[in-house]
Structure 1
Amino acid sequence: MPSLSHELLRAHSISWCNVGPVSADGGVSMMTIEDCREFYAREVKFAASATTPGLVEAFAKVPREKFLGPGPWQIGSAEGRAMSAAGLGQLSYTTVEDPRDVYHNVVISLDRKKDINNGQPGSLACWIDALRLKPGERVYHLGCGVGYYTAIMAEVVGPSGSVIGLELQPDLAARAKENLADYANVSVEAEDGAAFDPGECDAILVNCGVTHPQTRWLERLREAGRLVVPFTLAVNATIGQGVMTKIVRSNGIYAAELVSPVAIFSGGNLRDASLQTQLLKGLTTGGLLKLKSVRMDAHEAGETCVVHTREVCLSLAEEK
């Protein structure tokens, strides 16, 4: 049976992350923010089934509240997130003032008017885990927001590696630069993702919904390089739904596989509205969930083409 102290905590909606062990007299001790980060990192690990060495430790180390800006903070509800993802309205939020309360697998608002949030940690951990980052690698993070997950990746690749963060929105890019100023292995650019050239990379994470991969991303992958990118169908002016896909370069071939379903902020000029019909068909028939390759060779659209353009094709065919 819970102690009276725990019942009071529940009645006053105090986060269980903040509650430490029960003492012999039935009282409770409050967790430090470092304790909460450890608790949160374990929560994220299991939400993402993450296995990349150093990734869970990075979530336990990087101070999320620093990247969110001064409190109080607005935490998005799971129900509201589902409604927003379905294009049925904006997220609903709960206000918290204790920085320990941001250490849960929840989205936290960055801009209520634009419906921009800090991302679901469990989802981002899953996508970062799919990149299989290693110390010393060079990473490109397109759509870095305020830089929190950029910092996570910088911790994983270590001082011998590097991360380039790109953010189109100047206000978010400015915050990211300030937040990441202490990371010597990180640079942040405020530029257009369609035009920016990151140079050769071992890994690329695209953190906004697109209709197709840019050829430059594929060309800039080194041998065995990995690209994780969301191909989404626009459901309203800002949000898209679709699939997070991993693409791996090997001997000039780009193999593709499903990572997870996704609902994410759309990437503006990284989208081609003329591909909306192909994306809709790819989602309704399940083709986007079964991608095997991304082709850049010239060919006519055929049965194995799920999303076909002049430059790239999301394909069901296994390239050899």
Structure 2
Amino acid sequence: MGRWALAEIDIVRRAYAKQVLAAADVRNQMLEDAFATVAREAFLGPGPWPILRWGRGYVLSPNDDPVYLYSNDLVGIDPLRNLNNGQPALHALLIDRAGPQPGEHAVHIGAGVGYYSAILAGMVGPSGKVTAIEFDPQLAARARENLHAFEQVTLLQGDGAELEFEPADVIYVNAGVTHPVPRWIDRLRDGGRLILPLTTRQGFLGGGVTKPEDGKPIERRGAVFRLRRRGDEFDACWISPVAIFPCEGARDQEAEVALSAALDRGGWEQVTRFYRGKDMPQKNTCWLRTKNWCLC
């Protein structure tokens, strides 16, 4: 543990967990406990670490003291690609809205180096399971090593839009998509929740910061929705704006054009339902509509 005694780093992690949940305006004791007990430094490799400082790009932490990782900051895992271990408060908000419970099966698409897969494992507990999926082979290898102590986690390398997995209570997508992949919808159990970040081409850009090419604010570049299965029907609600790394296997130009137009119109907070196929309602009730699915 280096210069930190065990009790001291435990205090730092608990304070971090409380600050992260407060920043997300979330009250969830199971989630706080998961953030307080999963060691972030165990997933990010040896320090010093590249920490994204807005307006300055990536700045190395002063040294390898893990205390520098326990803040609500993005930490670069591949700075050359602007690929980060995501902002803890945003993940806290989205995981809270997904509501994983002990004994459930959570699927994490876009697992990166596995840190938030471990948070999900803390939520579902030893009686639950987590299927973590990562497209990038090098990141998947890191995640597999990082998660080896979490017996309820299985790491799969491949395209999260194509890989098969068992029916899930939570599908947590951590990459920007233009549409809900049919396999994800089909594999949701009754009552299951899908966290879906819908993003336009302005949803994530280079240079170490996320900023739109055309001056659009973040609210008009990407939006995270939760879909909840109720038998053959699906409730939907908007959670937050988002700028996030794109999902390799779930980008469609037609859907992206429709999404961009919907974000320009606004009104995402009024979305309450998701439909697909023959069940789609009249066009004038839809906030976002493609030939195969719609949000209304």
Distance 1:36 1:306 in 2: 44
SS of the residue 1:234 aligns to: coil
The match for 1:205 is 172
> How far off its partner does 1:275 sit?
2.2
Aligned residues: 277
Are positions 1:33 and 2:13 aligned together?
Answer: no
Query: What are the superposed Cα offsets for residues 168-226 of structure 1, whole Å, 9 maximum, x if unpaired?
Result: 00010000000000111000100111211222000110000011101111111111111
Which ranges in structure 2 are unaligned for 5 or more consecutive residues? 211-217
Other-structure match for 2:86: 119
Query: Residue 68 of structure 2 aligns to a residue in which SS?
Result: helix
1:126–1:79 distance in 2 versus 1, CA, 3 Å: farther
**TM-score scaled to structure 1, two decimals?**
0.82
Q: What is the aligned partner in structure 2 of residue 168 from structure 1?
A: 135
Q: Which residue of 2 aligns with 1:282?
A: 262
Distance 1:110 1:96 in 2: 17
Partner of residue 154, structure 2 = 187
C-alpha contact 1:142 1:207 (8 A) present in aligned 2:
yes
- Taking the aligned partners of 2:268 and 2:199, their CA distance within structure 1 comes to 10
Residue 294 of structure 2 corresponds to residue 313 of structure 1:
yes
Say whether the 8 Å CA contact 1:279–1:306 is kept in structure 2.
no
Mapped partners of 1:49, 1:211: distance in 2: 27
Match of 2:276 among 290, 293, 296: 296
For residues 5-44 of structure 1, the aligned pairs below 5 Å read 32-44=8-20
Q: Specify the code of the residue in structure 2 equivalent to 1:261.
A: P
CA–CA distance in structure 2, aligned partners of residues 237 and 267 of structure 1:
14
- Which stretch of structure 1 is more off in the superposition, 163-172 or 192-201? 192-201
> What's the CA shift for 1:302?
1.4
> Aligned partners of 1:195 and 1:309: how far apart in 2?
21
Supply the RMSD in Å over aligned alpha carbons.
Answer: 2.1
Structure 1 residue 301, shift from structure 2 partner: 6.8
Q: Does 1:232 align with 2:199?
A: yes
Percent of aligned positions that are identical: 39
Alignment partner, residue 93 of structure 1: 59
Is the 1:165–1:189 contact (alpha carbons within 8 Å) kept by the matching residues of 2? yes
Residue 28 of structure 1 corresponds to which residue in structure 2? none
Question: Quick one: distance in 1 between partners of 2:9 and 2:38?
Answer: 12
Deviations 1:290-311 (A, max 9, x none): 2221111325871223333333
Cα contact 1:211–1:279 (8 A) shared by 2: yes
Whether contact under 8 Å (2:159, 2:248) holds in the other structure is: no
Report what 1:73 is aligned to. Answer: 49
Q: Are 1:307 and 1:313, in contact at CA under 8 Å, matched by a contact in 2?
A: yes
> What is the one-letter code of the residue matched to 2:245?
F
Higher Cα Rg, which structure:
1
Secondary structure in 2 aligned to 1:123?
A: helix
Give the equivalent residue in structure 2 for 1:253: 233
Q: Say if 1:242 and 1:261, in contact at 8 Å, map to a contact too.
A: yes
Partner of 1:56: 32
Q: Indicate if the aligned counterparts of 1:75 and 1:96 stay in contact, CA closer than 8 A.
A: no
CA distance in 2, matches of 1:259, 1:79: 26
Structure-2 change in CA distance of 1:53 and 1:133 (3 Å):
farther
Q: Report whether the alignment pairs 1:159 with 2:126.
A: yes
> Aligned with 2:244: secondary structure?
strand
Question: Do 1:136 and 1:157's aligned partners in 2 also have CA atoms closer than 8 Å?
Answer: yes
Q: Structure 1 regions of 5+ residues with no counterpart?
A: 1-17, 19-30, 81-90
Q: Is the Cα–Cα contact under 8 Å of residues 175 and 245 in structure 2 kept in the other structure?
A: yes
TM-score by length of structure 2 reads: 0.88
Which of 120, 137, 140 aligns to 2:104? It is 137
- C-alpha offsets along residues 29-51 of structure 1, whole Å, 9 cap, x if unaligned? xx922221111011011012223
Contact 1:52/1:132 (8 A) holds in 2:
no
| Structure 1 stretches of 4+ moved >4 Å | 236-240
SS in 2 for 1:270: coil
